[in-house]
Every structure is written in structure tokens, then in C-alpha cells.
Structure 1
Amino acid sequence: MAITDINEFAHLTDNDIEALGRELDEIRRDVEESRGHRDARYIRRVIRLQRSLELGGRAVLFGSRRRPAWVAGTAMLSLAKIIENMELGHNVMHGQWDWMNDPEIHSTTWEWDQTGPSEHWKRAHNYSHHTYTDIVGMDDDVGFGILRMTRDEKWRPINLLQPVANVILAAGFEWGIALHDLKAQKVLEGVDPMQWNSAPNKEFAIKIARQVGKDFVLFPALTGRAWKHTLTANATANLVRNLWAYAVIFCGHFPDGAEKFTAEQFETETRAQWYLRQMLGSANIDAGPVMGFLTGNLSYQIEHHLFPDLPSNRYPEMAVRVRALCDKYDLPYTTGPLSRQYLLALRTIHKLALPDRLLKRTSHDAPETSSERKFDATGSRIGEALRVDPDTGRRNGLLSALRTHAHMRRPIRGNTRTLQAASGFREKDTG
């Protein structure tokens, strides 16, 4: 099952977690106090770049009856849609640039270039997801109501189809998000799902009409005889944007090491424990500046979940300090190449399509679902694991416990001292 006691799982005491929370608050305070001209210049440059790419792509598509023009126009439009979706729409609507008091780049005025209304998304994502991150039964983004991504969710025969459902979700990711947010909006307003003339349905219909009309009626019509080619170019650009956004989101939430939690953990959660939940429930993607930009800096998913309303261009510098804290408190900092992170998420999708009786690992000790009980066999508990090595001054916490657990699961020839050396523990630290 998911994590019920985050202190025990993380091998941290209340005092440790409160100290960690204070250090993360300091990172937030430093960034807030240093926001200024360079950040404003960055976001305005991004907006100019995105609009130039879109305008250039639309212009090139007037000649889309010629294949080179179709390819160039589609590529420019795809890139423009990715930037608008990831680095602009998502981050602006998080309020990352509200401090500028610029109505053009404000969370209350931005309407993004996809089918779901911004207001629906902000309520479902900014509040529900970022408050209840990875809490099973409270965070609807755990599988988006379509996929079974943890063994805490009961297996149903329809889950056998989730490899197919995953492909459909990826190709139509903007529609999947829009419908997911529409459902959340209806729940929030207490609207009967069968009430077709409800306010959420009307808002959704208006946004669809505008979005579909723009991409598949207006812009194709403007290119005259090339309208069919422009229509396919627009459809292709939307598909590329959907696939990219889907991959980035899944790599940040569902690879091994991105933990899940129970409602019991949330009931008594402190602010510092909320921070810790974000750190343990998210995963990063190894990325340079270009890849980071194209992901909307969501390659720094851990930092985004810690500080969702701070400017995304500051995530790389925050990541250095967050990673240092993970090292200090012996916590894992889950990251990896995009290909690896996605393949791990894909493995979970296909594996959990099957009934639990066909799976080898337990619900407490599986790559995609674990709890504090996974350490029962190793005897790695708070009282023992928080000891500090007298020679190095380094604490033995969750990361060390995970290493020991991994080594104990695989057969290692030799005596106990060999196992301890392989896992990084000294004999007196293992109890």
C-alpha cells in the first residue's frame, strides 16, 4: 500500500523534518526576494519567441501544398504550441509571474492554446493536485482516472485495456486533461453530471468551439487552396504537443521512486511534511538548458512541486540547493534520462493492467508502490537508521536504507560484513 507514515518511511524525526522545512523556506525566501529584471526579461523573451514561431509557421503554411513548406510550417507550429503549453500556459497560470503585475502575463487573464478552459485547469491542478499530490483517492492526477498506477487502487477487468487507453490518452492528452478538469469542476460546483446545460459544460463548449474553430476552420480557410494541408499541419502540431506534454508529465510523476501516499498521512500533515511529500512523490528528468526549456522546466518536477508559484527559469539554481539538502538528510533525489523515466512509467502501466495475483512483489515493496513496511525485513527503523557516522558525520537515513534493502533483495555471496560494505553501512550502524 502507499505510505501511511512519512516520518517512518523517510527515516526522519519530527525535528529533522521541521529543520528540512525551514531550509526549504529559506530557498523560497531567497528566490522571492531576488526576483527582478532578469526574470521579467526572460519571460518576455519567451513570449516573443513563441509568437514569432507561431506567426512564422502560420505564414509558411500558406505554401503548405509544397512538402518542404508543410514540414517547416508544421515544425515551427509544433514548437510554438509546446512552448505555449509548457513554459507559458502551465507556468503563467500557476501564478509564477503574478509578481510583475502585468495583466498580459497574469494567472487571472491567461487563456492557453488547448481545449480545456484555463479556469477549470487552475482549480483542478493548482489546488487539487498541488495540495493533495500523490495521495491515493484525493489526487485525481494519479492515473487521471483512466490508468491504474498504484496497487492501492483495486484491479478491475477494464484495467486489462489500459495499454490501449494509455496510447489514446497520449495522443489526445489535451482532451484527456480537459475532460478530467471538467469533471473536477462539476464536483467543485456540486453540478449533476447529467445536467447538460450546466455552467461548466457551457464554458467547456465555448472553449472547444473557439479552439477547434481556430485550428481546423479559420486558419485552414485563410490559406485558400492549401486548406487541406494546413488542416493536417495543425492536427499534426497538436498531436506533437500532446505527446510531448504527456511524456513530460508521466516522467515527472510515475517512474520508480515517485512515491504514493494515503489519506491518513495527510490528516495530520505539517507544512514541512508537505514539503517532504513533494520531494518523495516527484521525479526529475536529466536535462540541459534546451531540454529544460522545452519541458517548461518541468524536468525539475521536484522543484516545481516544492515551489509551484516561483519562476520556472529559477528551478535549475534551486535544484542545486534542493539536491544538497537531499544529500544532507540522506534522502533520494529521483532523476534520470527522459527515456529511462518514461520506460519505467510505461512498465508500470502495462504491469498494473494485470491482477495483483499475477505480480511478484507485494503492495508494500514494489517499484511503483511502497510503504514504510518495506523495511520490516531489514529492521531499518527511525531509531536505528538516523544514527550519524562518527567518522564521516554523515547520517544514515532513507537513501542508505534503500541501498541496504536493494542489496538484501539480491543474492550476495559473502558474510554480513560484505553486505554492510556494499550498502554503505558500518557494522555499528546496522544494529
Structure 2
Amino acid sequence: MAISDVTAYAHLSAGDVEALGLELDAIRSDIQERRGARDATYIRRTITFQRALDAAARLTIELSRGRTGWLAGTAGLALAKSIENMEIGHNVCHGQWDWMNDPEVHSSTWEWDMAGVSAQWRYSHNYRHHIYTNVLGMDDDIGFGVMRVTRDEQWKPGHLLQPLRNLLLAAAFEWGIALHGLYSERDRAEGAAQKAAQTKALLGKIVRQAGKDYLLFPAMSGRRWRRTLAADASANVLRNLWAYVVIFCGHFPDGAEKFEPAVVADETKGEWYLRQMLGTANFDAGPMLAFLSGNLCYQIEHHLFPDLPSNRYAEIALRVRALCEKYDLPYTSGTLLHQYLLTLRTIHKLALPDSFLTATPDDAPETASERKFHGDKVIDAPDNGRPVGRNGLRTALRHAEMSRVAMRRRPIRIDPV
């Protein structure tokens, strides 16, 4: 089932994990010391571009007469909303730009263009998800409460509807995030009054957000209000679908492991770093796709350093990859399509009862633990730039796969009668 000993699963010694943590600390310190005008210019230009794109898209919807203009305007509006939510809102709310001391671009003041309340999301996401990444019972983002993505969750008949739930969540992702943040805040609220205050805050944000998109802008269009209403609704759905794909590809493909609650007891900084590296996944992206995904194609780097500027993740990724080579750790990545197909496979497979599944709970693509290696003797691997003699998780996984292939190819022996 879930991993109960992160160091053992990674096939590293306590000294290795401590050394890994120190090297990651050094990366953090280096980026913090070098951030400055270049980074501030980047986020301010991004905000300016996003606002200009939003305005241009709305003007195109309003002034154009044909279908082509409406489609172009709607696509532009969906793009503007995606950039605001992911490269700006998500990263600003992580505190990536708080060092600028700009009251407008600050985690405590930014309210993003979606149904959820930023403050509620910051608690459910920045704290419960990022601190306790993929820890069962502590990270509510494991399946978002509506999806079974690990065999550690007991199967129920309602999970048969999981493929349909997945489609609904994708189309209405902003509303799922809004409710997710509310429930997290209500969980920590003390007394009925605080719970009611959190509900009121969300209802107020929904009124403002829905009023802007579905009342104010359509009303400003006069007799063409239906055209604007359809564009706003379509842009929101497109934004939801894109955000859903990016987030799911960073957390649910093969290789994004789950952990038992015991792992966080007396967890060292190095072990925390290691858990982030094992619990997340990247997808391959060039500069444009990286920008459109809020640089969350670098989900591993984001979980290691969630408060460092997102425009630095590409250079950080090169250094993290080198550390994975040095410590013989997997660097989970693949094309966006590949990672999403793996995610869909898990969602559809785990909708079924466990009796329909073939792999053991400790050795399944979507759910693994250190127990998958019991009885295996890790073979020596050639040196690939890491210290000689250090065989970590990547070598162990390769050896386990070799053992499985050998077992499948072993001829069946039939004793003579």
C-alpha cells in the first residue's frame, strides 16, 4: 500500500538523505540571493499582458459580428483566464513575489479570477497539500475527496461512477476548488460562527464572480448579451479543463507515490524534500507550454520550492535532474499526453473493485511501497556520474522490473508422469 518509510523506499541511507537535503537547500539559497529586478519585471509584464489580452478578447467578442470573431474572442478570454489563474494567481498566492513588498502583487491581497476565495485556497493548498503532500488522511488533494486514485482508499460501489465524476470535475474545476477550500477552512474553524463566516465569504465571492461574468459583461453588451454570456461561460469551461489537466498530470500519473501518516513523525528536512520528489510528477514542456501551465509542468520543482519565482523553475529543474542522477532517483516526467493517459488509466481502473485488479497493492503502477522490494537483492548498476556504490531507487526499480520480466519468461516445467 502506501510508503511507510521514505528513506527505505528510496534505497538511500540516512546520510544520503541528509546530503540531498543540504544540496537542495543550497539551490534555494542561490535562487533567493539572485532574484531581483529580472524577476519583478517578469511578473509585472505578465500581469500587464494578461490584462491586455483579457480586454482585447472582450472587445473582439463585443465588436465582431461573425462566428470567427466570437471564437477568437472566446479563445483569447479562456487564455487570459488561464494565465491569471495559473501563472499569476496560483503563484502569487504561494508567496513567490512577496519579497517585492508590492501591496498589489502579494499573497495576502491577491484575489483571483475564479469562484474560490484565495484565502481559503491558501490554507487547503499551501498548508495541507504542500506540507503534507500525498500523506493519506492529511492531504485532501489526494483525489479531491471525489476520486479514488490509490488502493489505500477502500473501494465503494459509488466509485463505479468515477469516470463520470472525473468529467464533471474537469468541466467545473473552479467550483470543485472553491468547495475544497471551504471544507478545509471549516474543518479548522472553531465553532459555528467561524464556520458560518467561511461559508459567507465563499458565497460573497461567488456572487461577485458570477455577477461579473454572467450579469455585468452581458448587460454591457445590450441586445447582444447572449453572445457575451455564451463566450464567458465557454471561456470558464475551457479554463477549467486546462487547469484540471495540468493539476492532475502533476499528481496522479505513475510514479507519484502516496505515503502513510507515520512518515511525517520526526520527518527531517531532507526526508521532506525526498517525499516531495517522490510524490509529484512533471510533464515535458517548452517555454510557451510552461508559461501557459503556470510553470506547473515543473511540479517536482514547485513542490520542492513552492515560494520561489515560477520563472526560475526551468533553471532549477536542470539542477534537480542532476541531483536525481547523482542519488540514483527517478525524475518522473513525460509528455503531457502520456502523463494524462496514465492518469486516466488510474481513474478508470480504480473505479473497479480490487478483485478486478491484478497487480499487488504494494507493486501497482499507481500505488507502491517499500514492500514491493522485499526479497529482491538490488544488483550493481554502472556508474552514471553518481558516487560509485550508491544504488538508489532507480536501480531498484530497474532490477524489480527485470525480475518480473524474467518470471514471465520462465518456462513452465511439466514433470513426467
CA distance in 2, matches of 1:77, 1:406: 47
Secondary structure of the residue aligned to 1:131 is coil
Query: Take 1:361 and 1:412, find their aligned partners in 2: how far apart are those partners?
Result: 14
Question: How far did residue 396 of structure 1 move?
Answer: 1.6
Amino acid in the other structure paired with 1:336: G
Question: In the aligned structure 2, how far is the partner of 1:284 from the partner of 1:353?
Answer: 25
Match among 293, 306, 309 for residue 311 of structure 1 = 309
Instruction: Please tell me whether the aligned partners of residues 103 and 109 of structure 1 are also in contact (alpha carbons under 8 angstroms).
Output: yes
Counterpart of 1:220 (choices 210, 218, 227) is 218
Question: How far 1:377 moved relative to its partner?
Answer: 3.5
Indicate whether 1:374 and 2:372 are aligned. yes
Distance (Å, rounded) in 2 between the aligned partners of 1:5 and 1:127: 22
1:399 equivalent to 2:394? Answer yes
- Answer with 307-316 or 267-276: which moved more: 267-276
Greater Cα shift, 82-91 or 61-70: 61-70
- Secondary structure (helix, strand or coil) at the match of 1:200 reads helix
1:28 equivalent to 2:23? Answer no
Percent of aligned positions with the same letter in both sequences? 60
Equivalence for 1:281: 279
- Give the one of 343, 357, 360 matched to 1:359: 357
Aligned to 1:425: none
Alignment partner of 2:81: what SS?
Answer: helix
What letter corresponds to residue 229 of structure 2 in structure 1?
L
Q: Deviations over 1:166-210 (max 9, x none)?
A: 000000000001111110110111355xx8980011001100000
| 1:20-59 aligned within 5 A | 20-59=20-59
Partner of 1:206: 204
Q: Determine the C-alpha separation between the residues in 2 that align with 1:390 and 1:67.
A: 57
CA RMSD of aligned residues (A): 2.1
Structure 1 residues 28, 228: closer, same or farther in 2, change over 3 A?
Answer: same
**1:134-283 equivalences in 2 (<5 Å):** 134-191=134-191, 198-283=196-281
Which structure 1 residue ranges, 4+ long, deviate > 2 Å from structure 2? 63-66, 384-395, 411-415
3-state SS, counterpart of residue 294 of structure 2: coil
- What SS does the corresponding residue of 1:260 show, helix, strand or coil? coil
Name the counterpart of 1:132.
Answer: 132
1:197/1:37 Cα in 2 relative to 1: closer, same or farther (>3 Å)?
closer
Asked if the contact 1:385/1:397 (under 8 Å) is kept, the reply is no
- Give the counterpart letter for 1:396 in structure 2: N
Equivalent in the alignment of 1:426: none
On the 8 A contact 1:11/1:386 being kept in 2, the answer is: no
Task: Tell me: CA distance 1:390–1:203, structure 2 relative to 1, closer, same or farther (3 Å).
Answer: closer
Structure 2: give runs of 5+ residues left out of the alignment. Answer: 411-417
Alpha carbons of structure 1 residues 201 and 143: separation in structure 2 relative to 1, 3 Å: same
Q: How much does 1:379 deviate?
A: 3.1
Tell me, what secondary structure is at the counterpart of 2:376?
coil
Distance 1:271 1:159 in 2: 36
Shift of 1:241: 0.5
Letter in 1 for 2:260: T
* Residue-by-residue CA offset, 1:242-297 (whole Å, 9 max, x unaligned): 00000000000000001110001111211110000000001001000000000000
| Contact 2:147 2:162 (8 Å CA) reproduced | yes
Quote the offset at 1:68 in angstroms.
1.9
After TM superposition, the structure 1 stretch with the greater mean CA deviation from structure 2, 120-129 or 404-413, is 404-413
Alignment partners' CA distance in 2, 1:63 and 1:391: 61
Contact 1:389 1:395 in 2 (8 A): no
- Could you tell me which residue of structure 2 aligns to residue 69 of structure 1? 69
CA contact (8 A) 1:298 1:304 kept: yes
| CA apart distance, 1:395 | 2.3
The answer to whether structure 1 residue 410 and structure 2 residue 408 are counterparts is no
Counterpart in the other structure of 2:413: none
Residue in structure 2 matched with residue 11 of structure 1 by the alignment: 11
Partner of 1:419: none
- 2:414 corresponds in structure 1 to none
Identify the match of residue 337 of structure 1 among 310, 317, 335. Answer: 335
Q: TM-score, normalised by structure 2?
A: 0.95
Matched to 2:151, the amino acid is R
Instruction: Give the unaligned 5+ runs of structure 1.
Output: 416-431
Kindly tell me the number of residue pairs found equivalent between the two proteins: 410
Is 392-401 or 168-177 further displaced after alignment? 392-401
